[in-house]
Amino acid sequence: MNDDFFMLQALQEAQKALAEEEIPIGAVVVFENRIIGRGYNQTERLRDVTAHAEMLALSSAANHVGNKYLSDCTLYVTIEPCVMCAGASYWAQLGQVVFGADEPKVGFRRFGQLLHPRTRLRSGVRAEECAGLMRDFFNLKRK
């Protein structure tokens, strides 16, 4: 399995958010080629500003492995994480973060290096699909 496959899984999570009229962002956490955590945005449903896809996926993964540190794991997320989610990945000491599309307004890279020094970063995986989902969502909201 590869980055494309796991990003497709994150996109499926984003579709769940879309179905619930949430901002369509999805995430999965992978350890040894297995998904151990999943999440999609649920801030409206849970009335919780911290219920981002990444936060839910990280919590799920930590519960799965029984450890708050996820240094051998990779987070796949459809959109560049925000500062809060980048901070959570820092504290989890993630091995790698892979995201689909850039988030120029609130993405963490706007604010400097927020990931753990050992965390590798990749971007652009299935970027057009990830960006398209967001674009379509906000176009519908504006109508």
Kindly tell me if the per-residue pLDDT of 143 is higher than 90. Answer: no
Cα within 13 Å of Cα(111), Cβ side: 15
Q: How far apart are CA 70 and CA 128, in angstroms?
A: 28
Kindly tell me if the per-residue pLDDT of 1 is higher than 80. Answer: no
Q: How far is CA 116 from CA 9, 91, 127, in A?
A: 24, 7, 23
List residues with catalytic annotation. 54
Predicted local distance difference test score (pLDDT) of residue 141: 76
pLDDT tens track for 84-139:
999 999 999 999 999 999 999 999 999 988 999 999 999 999 999 999 999 989 88
Predicted local distance difference test score (pLDDT) of residue 142: 79
Q: What phi and psi, each to the nearest 5 degrees, are found at residue 135?
A: -60, -45
pLDDT tens track for 44-79:
999 999 999 999 999 999 999 999 999 999 999 999
Task: Give the annotated binding-site residues for Zn(2+).
Answer: 52, 82, 85
